[in-house]
Structure 1
C-alpha cells in the first residue's frame, strides 16, 4: 500500500525550483494501541475540555491558544495568527546555507523524512541539486513549517533521493560537558584491554533490523491473540520467588575471562 505524502511543496536553490513531496521515513503504525473503555459497558471513553474553575465543558469554538505571561494571566492567539507566522516556509524548502556533513553532530538530528520529486518535469532540477551536494560532500540547511511550527531542517543526499531531517532547537540540546566533566581521567588497565577487545570481536556482527525488535510488543500481541481466540482461561500460578540480587563486588578480570571463555566455547 502506497504511503500518502506527508507534505507537498517546492525545493528551491536560488533560481532552481522543483516540486517535491515528503514522506515519513519511520512508522509506528504497527505498534499496539489501546483505547480507554468503560468496564461495565465496554464503550469507549471520550475526553472533553472543561473550564478549570467552573468545571463546565468548553465548546470547540470557544477554545483558544494562550501563552502564560503571569499567574492566571495569558496572551490569547487566534488560529489565523498562528497560521500566518511563517508563510514563506510552509510550501517552499529554500536552501539558504550549506555545511560539511561531518560538522553537524548527531544530537541535533530529530525526525527523518524521505524527500523525492513530485513531478517528472522537476526530476532534472531535483537531481542536479542532490548530485551537486553529494559531489561537494555537504548538506543543505533550510526552514520548513511542520505542525504550525517552523523547524530548521537538514537535507542530505541519499541514493536517488534526499533525506530531510528536522533539527532540534538550540534550547533542546544540553551541553555534554555538564554530564561528563566529573568522569575521572583514569586510563584503562592494559591487562584488561585485550580481553575487552576480544569480547567485542566475538560479539561483532553486521547490522540487522532484527537486533532492535520490541519484545514487549510481541508479548502484548501474544496476549491479545490468546484473548481473541479464547483458547485458555486464566490460571492461578505459583508465586515466583524473588530473584537474588547480584553482588556489586566482583573481580573485573575474572568476569572478563569468564565472558571470553563463554564466547569462545563451541555452542551446541
Structure 2
C-alpha cells in the first residue's frame, strides 16, 4: 500500500475525521540522464556556495528572504510553527455547488482515505452526504510549508481532494494575449452554421481509455530504433493555418470528412442486406468506397495498413505517399 503524502484531521462542523492524503495520478514520462556529448559521463547538479565554490550539505541550507541587500533567515521548523493548525488540520469552511468552481481553478487531484477502520463510518457519512447534495467542501490546509485552497468531493464511493489555484493566481487573458477577437471579428451566419455542423459530426462519448500518450510511445520507439541502428519515422508536418478567405470551404470539407466514415458504414450495411450478385460492376462499386475510406485515416493508421500490406519504403513516406501506395497495392 502507498504511504500518505500528508496526514491530519479533516473537520466539518464539530466532526473530526483523521485522514491520509494519497496521490491520485502517476506520471509515465520517459526521463533522460544528462551526459557530456561524446562521453557516457553523467552530469550532476550540486548545491554549491557561490562565494567559495564548495559543495554544501542539505542540512546546512536555510531559507533566506532578501530585504534589499540583507537576508532574513528562516528555519524550516519556524515555518511549521506558524502554519495554521500546525500543518495537521484540513478544515472545511463551507460547501458549494460543484458547477460553481470554474475548471481553471483546479490544479492537482489526491485521494483521501480514513486513518483506521474505526473511522470508516464517519468517512462514509461525509462521502454519501456530499454525493447526495452534489456539493464540494472548500477548505484550506498546509502541506510541505505551503498553504493550499482545496475542494473535497465525493467520487465513486471515495473522497477526493483537488488543490485549487488562489484567485490572485488566475491571469486575465485580455492582459496576457494580444489579438483576441473583438467586435469586428464576427463569423458569418453560414460559417457559424457549418462550424456547428462540424461539432455535431465530431461529437462523441467521453471515454478516457480511448486516449493514450502517443508521444511517449514514439519516444520509446525512437530509443529502440536508435539502439538497433534503424531508421526512424519522422512526424507529419503541422497543418497549414486556415485563413479567413478559405474558412468556409475548409469547414465544408471538414464536415464531409467527419461524416464519411458513418456514410461508408451505412453503405456497407445496405450492401450486406442486398442480394449477393457478384457482377464485375458491383465489384468495382464495392472497391471504390474502400479506397475512399483511406482518405479519412490518419498517417499513423495509414502506416499500420502499409505495414500489413508490406509496402516497401513506408517509413520514409508522407501521408500522401502512403495513400497512393495503399491505393495501388489494393488495386
**Is the 2:80–2:87 contact (alpha carbons within 8 Å) kept by the matching residues of 1?**
no
The equivalent position to 1:76 in structure 2, one of 70, 73, 77, is 73
Greater CA deviation, 204-213 or 107-116?
204-213
SS in 2 for 1:144: strand
**Is the 1:89–1:144 contact (alpha carbons within 8 Å) kept by the matching residues of 2?**
no
Q: Structure 1 92/243 Cα, relative in aligned 2: closer, same or farther at 3 Å? A: closer
Offset from partner CA, 1:131-159 (integer Å, 9 cap, x none): 22333332111122222111111111212
Question: What is the total number of aligned residue pairs between the two structures?
Answer: 260
Structure 2: how far apart are the matches of 1:234 and 1:193? 48
Q: Structure 1 250/3 Cα, relative in aligned 2: closer, same or farther at 3 Å? A: farther
Aligned position for 1:52: 50
The equivalent position to 1:263 in structure 2, one of 258, 278, 295, is 258
**Structure 1 residue runs without a partner (length 5+):** none
SS in 1 for 2:26: coil
Per-residue deviation, 1:39 = 5.1
- Say whether residues 1:66 and 2:67 are aligned partners: no
Structure 2: how far apart are the matches of 1:89 and 1:264? 59
TM-score where L is the length of structure 1: 0.82
The equivalent position to 2:172 in structure 1, one of 175, 184, 206, is 175
Aligned position for 1:254: 249
Aligned position for 2:33: 35
Q: Structure 1 254/133 Cα, relative in aligned 2: closer, same or farther at 3 Å? A: same
Q: Structure 1 74/170 Cα, relative in aligned 2: closer, same or farther at 3 Å? A: farther
**Is the 1:192–1:253 contact (alpha carbons within 8 Å) kept by the matching residues of 2?**
yes
Structure 1: how far apart are the matches of 2:160 and 2:114? 12
Aligned position for 1:105: 102
**Is the 2:80–2:86 contact (alpha carbons within 8 Å) kept by the matching residues of 1?**
no
Offset from partner CA, 1:30-49 (integer Å, 9 cap, x none): 21011223456624332212
Q: Structure 1 253/10 Cα, relative in aligned 2: closer, same or farther at 3 Å? A: same
Structure 1: how far apart are the matches of 2:244 and 2:194? 20
Select the structure of larger CA radius of gyration: 2
**Structure 2 residue runs without a partner (length 5+):** 265-292, 295-331
**Is the 1:8–1:20 contact (alpha carbons within 8 Å) kept by the matching residues of 2?**
yes
Greater CA deviation, 41-50 or 92-101?
41-50
Structure 2: how far apart are the matches of 1:4 and 1:170? 31
